[in-house]
Amino acid sequence: MTQDRSEMSEDDDDKQSPPLDLRSAAIAEPSSSSSSSSVVVVVDSTPNKSRNCISSSSSGSLTSQPFPDHVLENVLENVLQFLDSRCDRNAASLVCKSWWRVEASTRSEVFIGNCYALSPARLTQRFKRVSSFVLKGKPRFADFNLMPPDWGANFAPWVSTMAKAYPWLEKVDLKRMFVTDDDLALLADSFPGFKELILVCCEGFGTSGIAIVANKCRKLKVLDLIESEVTDDEVDWISCFPEDVTCLESLAFDCVEAPINFKALEGLVARSPFLKKLRLNRFVSLVELHRLLLGAPQLTSLGTGSFSHDEEPQSEQEPDYAAAFSACKSVVCLSGFRELMPEYLPAIYPVCANLTSLNFSYANISPDMFKPIIQNCHKLQVFWALDSICDEGLQAVAETCKELRELRIFPFDPREDSEGPVSEVGLQAISEGCRKLESILYFCQRMTNAAVIAMSENCPELTVFRLCIMGRHRPDHVTGKPMDEGFGAIVKNCKKLTRLAVSGLLTDQAFRYMGEYGKLVRTLSVAFAGDSDMALRHVLEGCPRLQKLEIRDSPFGDAALRSGMHRYYNMRFVWMSACSLSRGCCKDIASAMPNLVVEVIGSDDDDENRDYVETLYMYRSLDGPRKDAPKFVAIL
Amino acid sequence: MDEFINLKETELRLGLPGTENVCEEKETVSCCNNSNKRALPSGSENETESSTRKTETSPPRKAQIVGWPPVRSYRIKNNIQTKKNETDHEVQGSYVKVSMDGAPYLRKIDPSCYKGYSELLKALEVMFKFSVGEYFEREGYKGSDFVPTYEDKDGDWMLVGDVPWEMFLCTCKRLRIMKGSEAKGLGCGV
């Protein structure tokens, strides 16, 4: 199944990223890296005799070669054009200077995993013909208020640089960036052929910025606002789309907390013959949804808005919602239900059998309401819900959804001491019923090692395992033991595991398992876990593919941090908050590793001499520390 | 006529029958041994509040930790909105249809306008020009061919008057005044 970013917003991103080694050879440019998404610092260059090409070294003396002739470069260009994966492109660019140059001139899609890893100028200097641009900003823990606002990740310098360098730019995909209305205006003005704007978990803009994009980007195909904070500037942005037939294929505005002009929306949908994906916000009522559906039966992905109505309908004759849904034969992805009136849920029965993706995670549905729906969803591959469906609901999922690939269960009451309607019972059931499971995010209050072990054995295809036992330090509630064995089994048995988030009571043993078995793990999230520095050392020493490490409230100190110094240039970032780090140690690391930006983030800006580090966020960078750091960030 | 319904009998509470005033206090758990520098009393709901770095002495109840559990504030806000909507829909201004067997058309009333069963039934009696008889806890309504019933959230038809008024308001979806032989089936004394 394709990972459609505009459908489900979470951050399972780049699956491939070349593991880079400090000692790798043949870097084309001494002053820059060979790829946009990774930094390789040349410590020593080992000329590879089997390769007959120029290898540069910091010492500067090169074996001279006749300049590659134009025919060769043209051939290369034609060949490299077909390379899509950035992993392959990064590898190709490492071959020699000629290949580096040709690859740079043919790369049209650029992915930047950390906006502070390089400057916009470097991007435009190396890549000349970029038409599609993916950029990520803040680290994920910023979503949970662990970082003060105004930390950075501004889109402004990127858009202004690209406006001059890439007038042909077609696609911009941002995650956790700070985007202003002015940025959007500049974007709309600078790129006449602009086609796709995707903003995931962004903030800083409002409906006025969206209105400008809607109005000026005449070739717009995709406008996806996903889980972003959009201020209500009281602008009727829907009416700002041009009057004639649009190119729109996807319009997602479910996160926009502002009423919309429904009549204008109806008109827009009517003149958008290519529209396949439509995600409404909660200000669109059931009656209005009904009218839209009648006019757009070609939709494949639908966000249903509120799925309720404010007042009682005028007439006794309620619209036949089920009929409208049954006319939408192509709908395979359903979400919304923001203010669900459960008595209307049966209206979706006609589309259940076709659904591959269902998102109930904004609807507080009981098992009784849920079971009749899910029993029809045999083709379901992606399912998000609230824990209000209970273990009983999960059992129903396990019975029916044999094709399930991705499951996310969110807590309706996200407090540590809330009642937990889902538990190991649900997890066990899913593991037995959904053998093709690849990705799971599961919030619960109680869990057992046995259930986690069962999942590790039953679901060998797991690549993402994120278990959040909401009570901190909570052990296996049946045996009273730590959750070490459960997570150990996951890293051991799930051979394809790339992403892991742990919780519950965990000792160093759990981390020993991770270091021993977690050879493909790229992203690791740790909270309230571990006993000592050894835990972190196991991971830093044992997980060669680790790229993103986020740790909070765990007893890891300086010794552990130092033990990972050989890794940090090969990682995208390390986040450690409320651990046991000292400022002195962080300073040492910063001095020892010049291409690493070491940010210490605190709220106490008076106490500069304080040795305790509240939050450490460090990442590699080709262009040194950023110039836009706010006062509460100290770059060591 | 508030003795009409014996609320105490049907009251749901914790404790053995016959005991008065049983209140369970929330277990006070002292905070975990881990450093708890950023505990806030209501951390998760206020998204703009930065974490305050204060060391906590043991708080009276389990304080919320900033950013834990790791649910985006966007979802939390939505859940709060959902909870609010549910209470709104259930209690305030929700009209329900009222049908009477044999009547040519239905009526609509808002049960939350009334203070209790006696008022509601009186209003229905006036609306449909009938009288409802006397309610007995075990036998139901006696002395009339008409029996007031309602459909609850599970879709079952229940006798009006069995549950406490507030609970009735939450669960009543529509009303039906049954008449004649069908009404007898509800356990009125045969």
The residue of A144, A175, A231, A314 whose CB has the most chain B CBs within 10 angstroms, and thus the best one to mutate to test that interface, is: A144
Please say if the pLDDT value at position A44 is more than 60: no
CA pseudo-torsion sign A385, A389, A394, A396 = negative
Residues pairing with A222 in the sheet: A196, A250
pLDDT at residue A330, rounded to an integer = 92
Neighbours of B184 (CB within 10 A): 13
| 8 Å CB contact between A458 and A436 | no
Q: Is A419 left (phi over 0), alpha (psi -120 to 50) or beta?
A: beta
When pLDDT is cut at 50, 70 and 90, the band that residue A85 belongs to is: confident
Contacts of residue A287, defined as CB under 8 A and 6 or more positions apart, other chains included, come to A309, A313, A319
Q: State percent of chain A over pLDDT 70.
A: 87
| DSSP β-ladder status, A615-620 and A596-601 | antiparallel
pLDDT at residue B48, rounded to an integer = 36
The mean per-residue pLDDT over the stretch A341-354 comes to 91
Contact criterion met (CB < 8 Å) for A468 and B32: no
pLDDT at residue A366, rounded to an integer = 92
| 8 Å CB contact between A522 and A497 | no
The mean per-residue pLDDT over the stretch A68-84 comes to 80
Which of B49, B69, B73 has the CB atom closest to A443's CB atom? Answer: B69
**Among A236-250, A331-345, B87-101, where is mean pLDDT lowest?**
B87-101
pLDDT at residue A315, rounded to an integer = 59
Could you tell me the two tokens for A363? Answer: 């609807």
pLDDT at residue A373, rounded to an integer = 95
Please say if the pLDDT value at position A105 is more than 90: no
Amino acid (one-letter) located at A531: D
Please say if the pLDDT value at position B71 is more than 90: yes
A-B contacts at Cβ under 8 angstroms: 111
Indicate the SS3 state at residue B87: helix
DSSP annotation of A29: -
The mean per-residue pLDDT over the stretch A326-350 comes to 91
When pLDDT is cut at 50, 70 and 90, the band that residue B11 belongs to is: low
pLDDT at residue A370, rounded to an integer = 95
Q: Is A504 left (phi over 0), alpha (psi -120 to 50) or beta?
A: left
When pLDDT is cut at 50, 70 and 90, the band that residue A601 belongs to is: confident
Which pLDDT tens digit goes with each residue over A417-459?
777 899 999 999 999 999 999 999 999 999 999 999 999 999 9
DSSP annotation of A144: G
Start-to-end Cα distance in chain A: 44
The mean per-residue pLDDT over the stretch B151-174 comes to 86
Provide the shortest C-alpha distance from residue B74 to chain A (in Å): 7
The mean per-residue pLDDT over the stretch A96-115 comes to 90
- Closest chain B residue to A203 measured between Cα atoms? B74
ipTM of this complex: 0.81
pLDDT at residue A343, rounded to an integer = 86
**Among A257-266, A499-508, A526-535, B73-82, where is mean pLDDT lowest?**
B73-82
Please say if the pLDDT value at position A283 is more than 90: yes
The mean per-residue pLDDT over the stretch A401-409 comes to 97
The mean per-residue pLDDT over the stretch A153-169 comes to 96
Cis peptide bond N-terminal to B148, omega within 30: no
The residue of B71, B88, B107, B110 whose CB has the most chain A CBs within 10 angstroms, and thus the best one to mutate to test that interface, is: B71
- Residues of chain B that touch chain A, judged by Cβ-Cβ distance less than 8 Å: 26, 29, 32, 34-35, 37-38, 43-44, 47-53, 62, 64-76, 78-79, 81-83, 85-86, 89, 95, 108, 154, 173
Which pLDDT tens digit goes with each residue over B36-68?
344 333 333 333 333 333 333 333 445 568 889
Please say if the pLDDT value at position A191 is more than 90: yes
The C-alpha atoms of residue A561 and residue A568 are separated, in whole angstroms, by 10
CA pseudo-torsion sign A475, A481, A484, A486 = negative
CA A44 to chain centre: 35
Which pLDDT tens digit goes with each residue over A614-634?
999 999 999 999 999 998 888
When pLDDT is cut at 50, 70 and 90, the band that residue A265 belongs to is: very high
CA pseudo-torsion sign B110, B113, B116, B120 = negative
List chain A residues with CB under 8 Å of B55: none
Amino acid (one-letter) located at A150: D
Location of structure tokens 């996807």:
A250
